[in-house]
Structure 1
Amino acid sequence: MKKTLATLLFGAIAASAMAQSTPVGLWRNVDDKTGEAKGEIRIVEANGALLGRLERSLKKDTKPDATCDECPDDRKGKPIAGLEIIRGGKKAEGKEVWEGGKILDPENGKEYRASFTPIDGGQKLEVRGYIGPFWRTQTWNRAN
């Protein structure tokens, strides 16, 4: 009985830890220049690929009815709140990284190739945006 209980408890803890080693969840991104939180992004997995929406802007100067005027595609003119900023990205075989996705910067309307790597036991997410051979990495924090 004790052995079964210990096995179940260990399995639950391991499953919980594994669930945290994924980009799926609610994240806060931080402004590279000011260090202030910019927004909360909810990432879900749909049909094996990532999808992320800007749940809410945390910037003080964002108007409640702000829209993505710089977006070049179907997101042009859509409200910033709820805007889909991550499309695609699948877990790389044998690695703890999700690759092949795209991420949109709603401030300038530019879309970048992207990869997403959970770090620090899944409490942080390295988000790397690529354009050509150049890239920039941000570290997002898991929001509770």
Structure 2
Amino acid sequence: MRIIRFALPLLLALPTLAVAQSSPTGRWKTIDDETGQAKSIVEITRASNGTFSGRIVELLAPSRPNPTCDKCKDDRKDKPITGMEIIRGMKADGASWSGGTILKPDEGKVYKSKMELVENGAKLKVSGCVAFICKSQLWERI
């Protein structure tokens, strides 16, 4: 009976752990594809309509204190980068997420985006595309 009392909570937690690794929700350390340096912490959440969005919750070693998106051309213009929604409108597309956009705040540019979990959900491959030219980054789950 003691074994059952000990094992039952663990067994009940397993489905939750599996779901966490098959979804992009959670906190991610963004890694610059050119320098290999960590740049920020992004938190991805799922809205009630099923779309995913991501917000910068922390900048790691910002170039200046409390930077704003002075190059943005949309509703994010001159807003603080910390707290800014950079991923918008991502929808499940089989084993990946697409149909949304990602903002690169230092450029102020918005790209069509796609996200895909890799390494059993430990990393998130995030791609931004203009026409047929795409760049990808691997973010690390934290």
Contact preservation (8 Å) 2:72, 2:109 = yes
Aligned to 2:46: 45
Find the aligned partners of 1:79 and 1:8 in 2 and give their Cα distance: 42
TM-score normalised by structure 1 residue count = 0.87
Aligned to 2:59: 57
CA distance in 1, matches of 2:12, 2:115: 26
* Partner SS state of residue 15, structure 2: helix
Compute the TM-score of the two structures, normalised by the length of structure 2.
Answer: 0.88
Match of 2:77 in 1: 76
Indicate the residue corresponding to 1:108 in structure 2. 107
Q: CA deviation at 1:12?
A: 2.8
The aligned counterpart of 2:120 is 121
In 2, Cα distance between equivalents of 1:9 and 1:34:
40
How far, CA to CA, are the matches of 2:137 and 2:33 in structure 1?
8
- CA distance in 1: counterparts of 2:71 and 2:59, whole angstroms: 17
Deviation at 1:37, TM superposition (A): 0.4
Deviations 1:35-68 (A, max 9, x none): 1101110110112111111111113x43232100
Name 1:141's counterpart in structure 2.
Answer: 140
> What CA distance in whole angstroms lies between the structure 1 residues aligned with 2:8 and 2:130?
47
Identity %: 43
| Residue of structure 1 equivalent to 2:37 | 36
Unaligned runs of 5+ in 2: none
Give me the CA root mean square deviation.
2.0
TM-fit CA distance, 1:9: 4.4
Q: Which string of whole-angstrom CA distances, capped at 9 and with x for unpartnered residues, describes residues 100-126 of structure 1?
A: 010000000010000111111211001
Counterpart residue type for residue 58 of structure 2: R
Q: 3-state SS of the aligned residue for 1:74?
A: coil
- Give the secondary-structure state (helix, strand or coil) at the position aligned to 1:73: coil
Give the superposition deviation at 1:18. Answer: 2.1
What is residue 91 of structure 2 aligned with on the other side? 90
